[in-house]
Each structure stands twice: as C-alpha cells, then as structure tokens.
Amino acid sequence: MTHKTLNILITSAGRRVGLIDCFRAAADDLGLDLMVHACDLNPHLSAACQAADQAHKVCRCTDTDYIPQLLDLVEQHKIHLLIPTIDPELAPLAQANTQFAARGTQVHVSSAEVIAIVRDKARTSDVLRKAGIAVPNTATHSQIVEQAAEWAWPVFAKPSNGSASRGLQVFDSVKDIPRSFSEPMIFQDYLQGPEYTINIFVDAQGQLQTVIPHHRLQTRAGEVEKGITIRNPMFQSIAESIVTALPGARGVLCFQLIDDPKLGPRVFEINARFGGGYPLADYAGAKFATWLLQEVTGQPISAHNQWREGVEMMRYDAAIYRG
C-alpha cells in the first residue's frame, strides 16, 4: 500500500532533532507529505519534541502503560511508521509488534529474539563468539573473581543490559572489584586503540544492503561528537557475519568495535536502532531514512553501499527558544 501523506512517530525523542531532519529531507526527496510526531516523558523539555509537528507525553518505556499509550497514539494519529531511539524500549516494542501491525503501524524493530540477544551483553558476546566473530574475553562477576589469575589486568566492567555509557568502570585488580553490584555486570578485556561505529541497513528480506563505518574521533555521553567515514573490508566482513548470526535483524542497526593493536578488532556492542551518529551516515549518502520511507510506502527500495568515504562530522550544541 502506498501513502502520499505519511505519519511517523519518533519515540523517546529527547535531543534527536538531527534524526527528524533526516526523515524530513527523505520525505522531500520522495515527494511525500510527512507529519512528524514525537513523544517523550517530558515533551516540553525535549528539543526533538519541539522540532516535531506534534508532540505527545508518555510514561517511561519501562512502565506497563507504555505500550498501551503508544497503541492509543498510533491509532488516534494513524501512524504509519514508529521509530524507537533508545535501547530499553526495543524489547517491549518487539514483543508488541503484531499489535501495532493490526493498527496499520510498522515498528522499526528487529525480531524479539534479536532484541533479547543484543540487550544482554553477555549473551551478545556468547552468540558472536560462537559465530566466529572476534569479541573481547567476557566473564560474569563470579567468573572474574574465580579466574582472576587467568586475566590480564586492568579489566573493563559494564552493566549487562546497560546503554548510553551508563555504569562503565575499570578495575586494576580483582581486589578492587566489589563483592556485589546493584545489577548484573560483565567484565571484559580492557581494549585499547581506535573505536569505530559501523552502521548497517538490513532490508525487509533480511539482506544486508549497506555497511558504513565511521571512526569515533571524539565522543560525549556515549555518542560520537567528531567522526569520519572510512571503508574497511574487514569491517564489511564482520557486518556480514553479524547479520548471519542474527537472522531476525531488520532495518537500521549499528555495532561498535575497538581495533586493539594487540588483539585486533573486537566487537563489544550492538544497538538494534538508529545510533546517535546516524546523521553522519546520512550525509555521506547512506540514506537509511529514505529507504525506510520507501519500504513503508511500498516503493522500490534504493538501498546501496556507494556512500562517500572521508566525510567528517563535528557536532555542536544548538538551542530552541520559547516565550
């Protein structure tokens, strides 16, 4: 089914004004009349909600009322495409996918099985390792304590279901590790070297169409602040292996790796959503927003891998004023 007027909803919109701009530019290119809805816990203080055509208040994505509130929104505003932006909302959205589809809404989310894997960093490491993909050595709290002599120190620790660089720690020895944590933690090799985000696009048939890495030259709060696109056949091969290991992957995903000078590239994170640095990929020619709009409107998808290498991005703060 095709749509001349298209309604999209960006959830947990926060500061994602750049993402809204990408979708608006994509709609213009396709000759679509786009209505952008955005929702957040506090839309009055969300820059992206202020930049949207309509803003909506919803509860936290961890609340039981979150999905019912979104279902009401998509039905009331005839939303064609729902685009999540943060990790904690992916699982409930994937589990409720059929409910949204019954209301005519396509949710941009991979299968519930894929989300369950990527939202558990210990499981992610295990699945990738079994698929022959290089990952850092990974251990649970009890394993790192029991096997301390087998590890090279320092080690890196993070919550197994964390996101946005929350709870990251480095421990110089096993004596520094607390006896307990407030949530499950994993411990990994403390990797050194340049860090990369690899943005990928998987079409509705599960075929990998695009692999666009960028070197994370500088980050802030877990998101790239300065970056440059690069081509690397090894990263292309890793992306192909990841998609094979996660057959339910769909749409836009990104993964991160560090190219350690001793160990080589090691994948340590997969985000099954638009990453914060997506506008760099879009500017370089990887028009994921365009391809999603083509998909939801029933147009032939123009996905390709012919993006521009050496495109640099330097993000900066801007302001929205009221009153």
Domain annotation covers residue 129:
no
How many Å is the maximal CA-CA distance in the chain? 63
Quote the CA–CA distance of 129 and 114 in Å, as a whole number.
15
Q: pLDDT grade, residue 159 (50/70/90)?
A: confident
Closest CA to 153 of 188, 193, 194: 188
What six digits make up the tokens of 27?
């709609």
For position 66, which CATH number holds? 3.40.50.20
DSSP 263-280: TEEEEEEEESS--TTHHH
Percent of the chain with pLDDT over 90: 89
* 169 and 211 together in one domain: no
Same domain, 215 and 185: no
Give the pLDDT confidence score for residue 2 in this predicted structure.
Answer: 54
> Per residue in 57-98, pLDDT tens?
999 999 999 999 999 999 999 999 999 999 999 999 999 999
- Of the three residues 89, 108, 127, the one that is the final residue of a domain is 108
Give the span between the Cα atoms of 115 and 113, in whole angstroms.
Answer: 5
Residue 19 binned pLDDT confidence (cut-offs 50, 70, 90): very high
DSSP label at 104?
T
Confidence band of 1 (pLDDT split at 50, 70, 90): very low
Tokens of 255: 């993964």
Tokens of 299: 């147009």
Judgement on whether residues 163 and 266 belong to the same structural domain of the protein? no
**pLDDT tens across 243-281, in order?**
999 999 999 999 999 999 999 999 999 999 999 999 999
Answer whether residue 40 is part of any domain: yes
Q: Which of 80-84, 99-103, 222-226 has the lowest mean pLDDT?
A: 222-226
Question: 32-41, 52-61, 218-227, 308-317: which has the minimum mean pLDDT?
Answer: 218-227
156 plus 172 within the same structural domain: yes
Predicted local confidence at residue 3, as pLDDT: 59
Domain presence at residue 279:
yes
- Looking at the domain assignment, is residue 56 inside a domain? yes
Of the pLDDT bands very low, low, confident and very high (cuts 50, 70, 90), residue 163 is: low
Q: Are residues 59 and 78 in the same domain?
A: yes
Q: What is the pLDDT of residues 124-147, one digit of tens each?
A: 999 999 999 999 999 999 999 999
Examine the fold and report which residue of 189, 208, 225 is the final residue of a domain before the chain moves on: 189
Given a cut of 60, is residue 284 above it in pLDDT?
A: yes
Joined tokens for residue 220? 């802030």
Could you tell me if 257 and 157 lie in one domain?
no
Has residue 166 got a pLDDT over 80? no
Specify whether 272 is located in the same domain as 197: yes
On whether both 185 and 248 belong to a single domain, the answer is: no
Domain termination site, one of 108, 129, 163: 108
How many whole angstroms separate alpha carbon 7 and alpha carbon 9? 7
Beta pairing partners, 107: 82
Same domain flag for 93 and 164: no
Q: Is residue 126 part of a domain?
A: no
Least confident of 166-180, 211-225, 245-259: 166-180
Report the mean per-residue pLDDT for the chain. 95
In-domain check, residue 208 = yes
For residue 45, the model assigns a pLDDT of: 97
| β partners of residue 220 | 223
Tally of domains in the chain: 3
Are residues 83 and 160 located together in one domain of the fold?
A: no
Domain containing residue 146: CATH number: 3.30.1490.20
Cα 288 from Cα 166, distance rounded (Å):
27
Summarize the confidence of residues 180-185 as an average pLDDT: 86
| Confidence at residue 160, expressed as pLDDT on a 0 to 100 scale | 81
Q: Give the domain extent around 98.
A: 5-108
pLDDT at 179: 85
Same domain, 152 and 215: no
Q: How crowded is residue 109: how many other Cβ atoms within 10 Å of its Cβ?
A: 26
Q: What is the CATH number of the domain that holds 230?
A: 3.30.470.20
In-domain check, residue 269: yes
